[in-house]
Amino acid sequence: MKFVGFKMIIIIALSLIGSVVNSQETSEFKLPTNFKPVSYELNVVTHLEDKFMFEGVVCIRMTCVGATDTIVLHSTSLNIDTKSVVVANGGENVIPVSNVSFDTDKELMHVTSTVNFKPCDEYVLTIPFTGNLTDDPVGYYRKSYVDKESNLTRWLAVTYFEPLGARRAFPCLDEPGYKATFKIRLSHKKGLTSISNMKLMNQINCPSYSDYVVDEFEESPPMSTYLVAYMVSDFVYIDANSENDQVKYRIICRKDLANQTEFSINLGPKVIKYYEDYFDEKFPLHKQDMATIPDFPTGTMENWGLITLQESSLLIDLDVNTIDDVYSVARLVIHDLAHQWFGNLVTMKWWTGLWLNEGFAEYVGIRAVDFMFPEWKSFQVKNLRNFLLVLDPDSLQSARPLSVAIGKPDEIAPISGDPITFAKGPILLHMMNTFLGENTFKQGIRNYIHKYKFSNAEQDDLWCSLTEEAHRQGTLDKNLTVKQIMDSWTLQTGYPVLNVIRDYSAGTVTLSQERYLSIKSNGTDNKTCWWIPITMTTSGDINQTNATFWLNCENNNLTTPLAKDNEWVIYNMQMTVLFRVFYDTRNWMGIICTLNDPTKYETIPTLNRVQLILDSLSFSQVGDMDYEITFQLLKYLKHEKQYSPWFAALFSLRRIDNLLKRTPKRAVFQNNMRDILSCIYNKFRNMDDKVNGYENIKFQNLVISNACEYQTKDCIQRVLDLFRKWMKSIDPDNNNILPIELKYPIYIQAIKYGGVEEWNFLWKRYQRCNLRSEQKYMMLALASTSIESLLQRYLNWSLDDSFIPKEDASLVFYFITLNEAGFLLAKEFFYCKISEIYEYYQRQDYSLSEYVSDIASQMKTKEELEEIQSFIIKSSCYFKEPDLIIDDTIETIKSNIELTSKFYNKIELGHFDLFRIGWVLDRESRNSQLHRFPNPYGYKHESQLIKNIISDQSTL
């Protein structure tokens, strides 16, 4: 899978054409079904340092399924001597080949015979090939690093095949549905080593090259081509002392990083044992390798038996890294080990199933982290982060369904890197776990694994296994199937809002649903509806949390009894289902009264407090609810002791803060931010005090970051004092005196409020740092300066890989766009250098679309919208689908314009009193009648707002 870390978790998902899966829609772009591969014998010779190329031979044993005279398979970027291509019947009788041709657009190779291939017969296709080891990180490519001991450049060669890279390394049937066994032999120079998916069986001298050896690996089980992996390097191997003798667990990395493997080498075997128990299925291979790759293009790749990762995704120095770094490594390791069963043992039939492949590994992964490290209590935090990743992008008209039809190959990349794929899936799986129950859910998964192991399946197969088990255990009505429920969530775009309107005189409540949109469409889409499990609690019965019924298309305007004396009702207990809830004003005020009572607010569960914060802010932003109700609710934060509600409030208000950048009223906003942060800041202000516990550490980071961001003088001074003390220390690279858990916000704020000397000092630390996770935060910090000359230099360096690794160039640009002082510089840089950027990324327009998205996210005026539209049209030659880029950009900026217009005039210069008691607009009668509500506790004016900054590592 692909974790894109810092950036992709906050960019808006790219739109894709298509919604409900349609096999006819994709058949044009898939291989014909005349042949099914049985096995591959793959021999590859790797030439590093001198030729930077590889040569090889692949022998594909395949069964003819339908009569034809042509074998069609994938091949691209390879040199093939067509005269050397051989087809044999049963491996013995040579079949005459009349023609070998290539369709470069579709990356296909056609091998045509003078006679028809016969159904049920086996054939062996032998193809010799050569290819170049380029620095483009796809297929079989090269990578360099500088050996710390000798200061020499070293080279390695490694594969990256998901989704369509195997065809660049050897001719093959490169679709996930074509599983086959693989027998791999790797030849390389003596002094280097090789690894592949399977265990090394034998090494002999290479007959073709005297200074080469041949490594032969055992044959694999049936597997898809995108999971094949191999690597040649001079890396070292660290073996785990595993209790599981059947599975050898190793970490492979650069020699100078071997001391950072202790955490992961101890974790891996325990995780394998956990999944063996969870899936009730033994690990199917004899070994599991985890190989770290310098500047790996994505976070991780779950190749069967050989997971490849960024160095920061696996390696940890427990004396230097923060608890968030440790959590991140644990989650990534556990996620990719989950894939060894769900994704590798059982594989999607086609890329339409990518969401399930990734979503399930993510869900069971965060459950496993919670099991392995119960003291972290991390499940709730991660589940909340997934909601925050999904709620905004999935409320756009341009959002795509979770299960999206994949037609052309270039439609795969966008879905493999957006938050809908990785975050919405776990939310829906947690919802299923909740309404089916843990026992039903787990046994249904086990049945699915047992039934489809070593083969392919699709989401309907999983729904069927879960339905059968639910009916057997009696946890789902016999007239209802999981498919009925889940198709409404996976095949439709977006998510619903549950409208809750009470009739207080009659003692009833009416529930209805519609799609939630952050920008309202011209007409209401009454056809879109979801199967929603209804859970609720009231002020009279706070323990009522079981699902009472389902709301769906057939009962989408349902009235049920509700006691008159209940002060309030709250739906969606523990926020287990993806929907917002809109209450009538009187119900909101009843909730607000309870929240603002320090003795009662905890009667509302923590995650429901989170949802109330998220929903009220969102309804106010889109104009459905007056801001004054929302700010009345937010007053309760003064006595909130939990991290998650604070995090939700800060994250949601961040968009308001972003839209106030470069406006006169931002200073008013900042002043009130300091007011509300004053109490909680006093709790954490002593930065040398050690805070214990995962959530408390994140809480401290959140508060310190915000207090400094909003110019709390005491915070700024403490940060600068600590940073400058570090600057004066002896050997600052090996003697970082900053508090470990606060060093990242200190980096950021010290650079923001410091000068050239501080910037140059941190730049040197960045250059000498060998911890990838730490480098990322240094990159963010360096982009936080307000000194334009430094920002301009930093932008120029982003296109020079001797300063900034190529894969980090767009990250530097993104960080600078977030800086109020850097946005205009970054925008002008992109406008002037789009041609240079395009060439730097080897003409990959997807990278350019990220730059456009970064700029658009910060724009909020009609003039800016016209400006960037004009630029995209003028620069259309750099984009494959400029109209799609324009559509996404227009929607993003129009949303910003609309949101700005709704709250900007409420901010009065010199008197920003959004928490005043006043007149509020009831949704039911907002066009006719105003309702006044009293101040329940006699509070005086409290101008309190909070924001979350992207620079806080405790945010997404």
The whole model's pTM is what? 0.85
Element (H, E) at 194: strand 193-196
Element (H, E) at 932: strand 930-932
Query: What token pair was written down for 786?
Result: 């307000």
User: What percentage of the chain reaches a pLDDT higher than 90?
Assistant: 61
User: What Å distances lie between residue 749 and 410, 455, 716, 830, CA to CA?
Assistant: 40, 52, 7, 26
Residue 243: pLDDT band by 50, 70, 90 thresholds? low
User: What Å distances lie between residue 53 and 16, 44, 131, 752, CA to CA?
Assistant: 36, 10, 6, 46
With 60 as the cut, is the pLDDT of residue 432 above it?
A: yes
The answer to whether 203 touches 196, Cβ cutoff 8 Å, is: no
Amino acid 244: pLDDT = 62
3-state secondary structure of 73: strand
Amino acid 326: pLDDT = 93
Of 593, 670, 602, nearest in space to 632 by CA? 593
Query: What token pair was written down for 759?
Result: 């910037």
User: Residue 838: what residue type?
Assistant: Y
The answer to whether 232 touches 53, Cβ cutoff 8 Å, is: no
Amino acid 846: pLDDT = 62
Amino acid 136: pLDDT = 87
User: What Å distances lie between residue 533 and 25, 384, 549, 894, CA to CA?
Assistant: 33, 19, 6, 34
With 90 as the cut, is the pLDDT of residue 615 above it?
A: yes
- Top pLDDT among 652 and 87 is at 87
How far is it, in rounded angstroms, from Cα 892 to Cα 868? 12
Residue 91: pLDDT band by 50, 70, 90 thresholds? low
Amino acid 847: pLDDT = 72
With 90 as the cut, is the pLDDT of residue 334 above it?
A: yes
Amino acid 843: pLDDT = 67
How does DSSP classify residue 802? T
For range 18-26, the mean pLDDT: 37
- Top pLDDT among 409 and 221 is at 221
Of 497, 478, 364, 386, nearest in space to 432 by CA? 364
Residue 555: pLDDT band by 50, 70, 90 thresholds? confident
With 60 as the cut, is the pLDDT of residue 4 above it?
A: no
Highest mean pLDDT out of 358-362, 909-913, 943-947:
358-362
Element (H, E) at 366: helix 354-372
The answer to whether 136 touches 165, Cβ cutoff 8 Å, is: no
Highest mean pLDDT out of 96-105, 221-230, 631-640:
221-230
Q: Return the ∠ at Cα 656 (arms to 655 and 661), rounded to 5°.
A: 95
- Radius of gyration (C-alpha) of the chain in whole angstroms: 29
**For 910-926, b where at least 16 C-beta lie within 10 A, e where not — what string?**
eebebbebeebbbbeeb
Q: Is 924 annotated as a binding residue?
A: no
Residue 912: pLDDT band by 50, 70, 90 thresholds? very low
How far is it, in rounded angstroms, from Cα 626 to Cα 488? 31
Q: Tens digit of pLDDT for each residue in 739-792?
A: 999 999 999 999 999 999 999 999 999 999 878 788 889 999 999 999 999 999
Amino acid 297: pLDDT = 75
With 90 as the cut, is the pLDDT of residue 680 above it?
A: no
Residue 875: pLDDT band by 50, 70, 90 thresholds? confident
Query: What token pair was written down for 809?
Result: 């160039």
**Beta partners for residue 583, in sequence order:** 500
The alpha helices in 567-641, defined as continuous H runs, are 585-595, 606-622, 627-634
Element (H, E) at 758: helix 756-768
Amino acid 722: pLDDT = 96
Amino acid 663: pLDDT = 84
Strand ranges in 30-118 using DSSP code E only, listed in sequence order:
35-47, 53-64, 68-74, 86-89, 93-95, 97-103, 108-117
Amino acid 671: pLDDT = 81
For range 115-143, the mean pLDDT: 94
**Beta partners for residue 208, in sequence order:** none
Strand ranges in 628-772 using DSSP code E only, listed in sequence order:
none
Amino acid 49: pLDDT = 80
- Torsion angle defined by CA atoms of residues 157, 161, 164 and 170, in that order, rounded to the nearest 10 degrees: 60
* Residue 847: count of CB within 10 angstroms of its CB: 18
How far is it, in rounded angstroms, from Cα 656 to Cα 621? 9
How far is it, in rounded angstroms, from Cα 731 to Cα 327? 28
For range 849-870, the mean pLDDT: 88
Amino acid 466: pLDDT = 98
CA 180 from chain center: how many Å?
Answer: 30
The answer to whether 854 touches 868, Cβ cutoff 8 Å, is: no
How far is it, in rounded angstroms, from Cα 624 to Cα 613? 15
Maximal C-alpha separation, the chain? 94
Q: Give the position of tokens 């060894």.
A: 340
Highest mean pLDDT out of 554-558, 613-617, 624-628, 682-686:
613-617
Query: What token pair was written down for 734?
Result: 């090996």
Q: Is 339 annotated as a binding residue?
A: yes
With 50 as the cut, is the pLDDT of residue 99 above it?
A: yes
With 70 as the cut, is the pLDDT of residue 627 above it?
A: yes
User: Is residue 736 exposed (0-12), middle (13-18) or buried (19+ Cβ within 10 Å)?
Assistant: middle
User: What percentage of the chain reaches a pLDDT higher than 70?
Assistant: 89
Amino acid 887: pLDDT = 79
Choose the weakest-confidence range: 387-396, 539-548, 623-632, 656-665: 539-548
Give Cβ neighbours of residue 843 (< 8 Å, ≥ 6 apart): none
Q: Tens digit of pLDDT for each residue in 133-186?
A: 998 889 999 999 888 888 889 999 999 999 999 999 999 999 999 999 999 999
With 90 as the cut, is the pLDDT of residue 6 above it?
A: no
Pairing of β 86-89 and β 122-132: antiparallel
Give Cβ neighbours of residue 295 (< 8 Å, ≥ 6 apart): 143, 310, 805, 806, 807, 808
- Top pLDDT among 106 and 184 is at 184
Amino acid 853: pLDDT = 87
Mean pLDDT, the chain, as a whole number? 86
Of 365, 364, 506, nearest in space to 441 by CA? 364
How far is it, in rounded angstroms, from Cα 698 to Cα 676? 18
How does DSSP classify residue 320? T
For range 31-43, the mean pLDDT: 96
With 50 as the cut, is the pLDDT of residue 15 above it?
A: no
Q: Tens digit of pLDDT for each residue in 500-537?
A: 999 999 999 999 999 999 877 665 555 789 999 999 99
Q: Give the position of tokens 């004092």.
A: 721
Q: Tens digit of pLDDT for each residue in 821-832?
A: 999 999 999 999
For range 222-237, the mean pLDDT: 97
Q: Is 941 annotated as a binding residue?
A: no
With 60 as the cut, is the pLDDT of residue 709 above it?
A: yes
Choose the weakest-confidence range: 1-5, 197-201, 767-771, 950-954: 950-954
Residue 408: pLDDT band by 50, 70, 90 thresholds? confident
Residue 423 main-chain phi, psi, to 5 deg: -110, -35
Element (H, E) at 499: strand 496-503
Give Cβ neighbours of residue 614 (< 8 Å, ≥ 6 apart): 387, 388, 391, 580, 648, 652
Amino acid 47: pLDDT = 96
CA 715 from chain center: how many Å?
Answer: 32
